[in-house]
């Protein structure tokens, strides 16, 4: 039994790990010659960390996870604390810690865990054909590869998705731009063991500790799509967007390196019900593209992989067994991933001032927050995963 895995991102690598646990051979094909992640870091929440442990890659989380023990919101303008609390009750309730990690290091270590030499880089799939006997992938260099089934983990711009769905999906602009990067930990910006977020005017500045004494930072600003901004104006742009904001935000802006800071117009895709067509399954962002507002895109790719492995454990390794396992995967995942995309969209709108009255009401709630409600929300999201 052989699977073709398309994409060597978090989704593709974790899918390969899950199938390997079931004794299924995997050939992995990645479009680019060298992976350059679009973001600086990721918060892998406890559900994602549990998946990494389950897939045998827990040591990567141990090596890369930052010491995020507390959480706080500050008024962006005055800098005053709106709420501050320990994340220990969350960790106790869900049985695992969250791990903010460098994205480049995570991807690189997942690839090394599998064996870099075993991945075929520079193989961009253009289309796939399936027959009663299996699937064949056609790459843009004129080569092809065959297997018994395919896991398409080729990201939000998936080339395979249209063939699975039978129609083309458009990405939806979420009405804000995100800048993100890494800086050295500086306690004048935020405590080194805390996820700290400054909010105001529908904007957000967030800082999280990752390993090796670094902060992951991001700035969110509601803006029209397609604005022309480049690295040479990055510091001036942020200074302008956050003019009048509190001292730690100004200190952060001064600390960032424009050459290593990413600027991303944030999108999602309207959730869909079909994740599988016979012997082809979508996984990760190819199957569900979310805004990063609840930090669950990568976590849900890891969940997909764990469930995929569990489904293969229930079925015979025959061609009809493959179809049944993939159908079961679709049935197990479709509601969970739809829920996460829509939850993130709702959070995104409130955070970024889609209706400013609602956003102001949220700021007022934060001033009364003891941590209990935020932890309850995080707990529900985390425990909705397959390894609850
Ligand atoms: P990708 O990482 O996009 O990987 C797809 C791979 O497929 C790529 O390597 C690509 O080169 C390859 N590929 C593409 N097309 C082809 C082709 N035709 N043929 C072959 N290969 C192809 N998630 C979290 O869990 N927590 C967070 O805190 C978080 N923060 C985020 C912040 C930002 C700003 C953004 C944009 C996203 C964030 N996410 C977060 C989401 C997370 O990054 C994604 O959900 C995750 O990377 C999806 O992994 P993937 O493997 O499905 O897709």
pLDDT of residue 317: 81
- Give nearest CA residue, ligand 1 atom 3: 155
- Contact between 256 and 183 under an 8 Å Cβ cutoff? The reply is yes
pLDDT of residue 318: 87
The overall average pLDDT reported for the chain is: 97
**Of all atoms in ligand 1, which is nearest to the CA of residue 285?**
52
pLDDT band at 127 (very low <50, low <70, confident <90, very high): very high
Return the closest-CA partner of residue 381 out of 290, 272, 311: 290
Query: pLDDT tens across 141-182, in order?
Result: 999 999 999 999 999 999 999 999 999 999 999 999 999 999
223-230: average pLDDT? 94
pLDDT of residue 39: 79
CA of 171 to the centre of ligand 1 (A): 14
**Of all atoms in ligand 1, which is nearest to the CA of residue 37?**
2
Query: pLDDT tens across 291-328, in order?
Result: 999 999 999 999 999 999 999 998 888 888 999 999 99
The pLDDT of residue 35 is above 90: no
Ligand 1 pocket, CB under 6 A? 6-12, 29-32, 35, 38-39, 42-44, 48, 124-125, 153-155, 159, 178, 180, 264, 284-285, 292, 295-299, 301
pLDDT band at 37 (very low <50, low <70, confident <90, very high): confident
């Amino acid at each position: 039994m052989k699977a073709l895995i398309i994409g060597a991102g978090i989704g593709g690598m974790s899918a390969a790990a899950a199938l390997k646990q079931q004794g299924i051979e995997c050939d992995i094909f990645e479009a680019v010659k060298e992976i350059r992640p679009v973001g600086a870091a990721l918060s892998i929440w406890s559900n994602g960390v549990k998946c990494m442990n389950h897939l045998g890659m827990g040591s990567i989380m141990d090596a890369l996870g930052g010491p995020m023990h507390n959480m706080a919101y500050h008024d962006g303008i005055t800098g005053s604390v709106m709420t501050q609390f320990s994340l220990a009750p969350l960790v106790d309730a869900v049985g695992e810690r969250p791990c903010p990690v460098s994205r480049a290091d995570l991807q690189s270590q997942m690839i090394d865990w599998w064996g870099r030499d075993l991945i075929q880089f520079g193989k961009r799939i253009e289309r796939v054909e399936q027959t009663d006997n299996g699937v064949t992938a056609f790459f843009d260099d004129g080569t092809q590869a065959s297997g018994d089934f395919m896991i398409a983990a080729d990201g939000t711009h998936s080339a395979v998705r249209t063939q699975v769905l039978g129609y083309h999906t458009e990405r939806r602009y979420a009405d804000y731009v995100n800048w993100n990067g890494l800086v050295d930990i500086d306690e004048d910006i935020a405590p080194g063991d805390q996820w700290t977020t400054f909010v105001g005017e529908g904007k957000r500045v967030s800082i999280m500790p990752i390993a090796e004494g670094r902060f992951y930072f991001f700035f969110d600003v509601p803006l029209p799509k397609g604005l022309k901004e480049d690295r040479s104006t990055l510091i001036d742009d942020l200074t302008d967007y956050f003019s009048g904001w509190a001292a730690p935000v100004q200190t952060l802006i001064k600390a960032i390196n424009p050459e290593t800071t990413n600027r991303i117009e944030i999108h999602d895709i309207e959730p869909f019900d079909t994740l599988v067509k016979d012997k082809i399954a979508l996984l990760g962002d190819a199957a569900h593209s979310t805004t990063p507002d609840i930090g669950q895109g990568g976590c849900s790719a890891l969940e997909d992989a764990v469930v995929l492995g569990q489904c293969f454990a229930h079925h015979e390794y025959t061609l009809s067994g493959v179809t049944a396992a993939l159908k079961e995967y679709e049935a197990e995942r479709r509601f969970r991933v739809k829920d996460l995309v829509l939850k993130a969209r709702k959070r995104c709108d409130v955070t970024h001032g889609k209706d400013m009255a609602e956003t102001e009401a949220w700021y007022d709630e934060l001033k009364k927050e003891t941590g209990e409600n935020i932890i309850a929300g995080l707990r529900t999201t985390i425990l909705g995963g397959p390894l609850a």
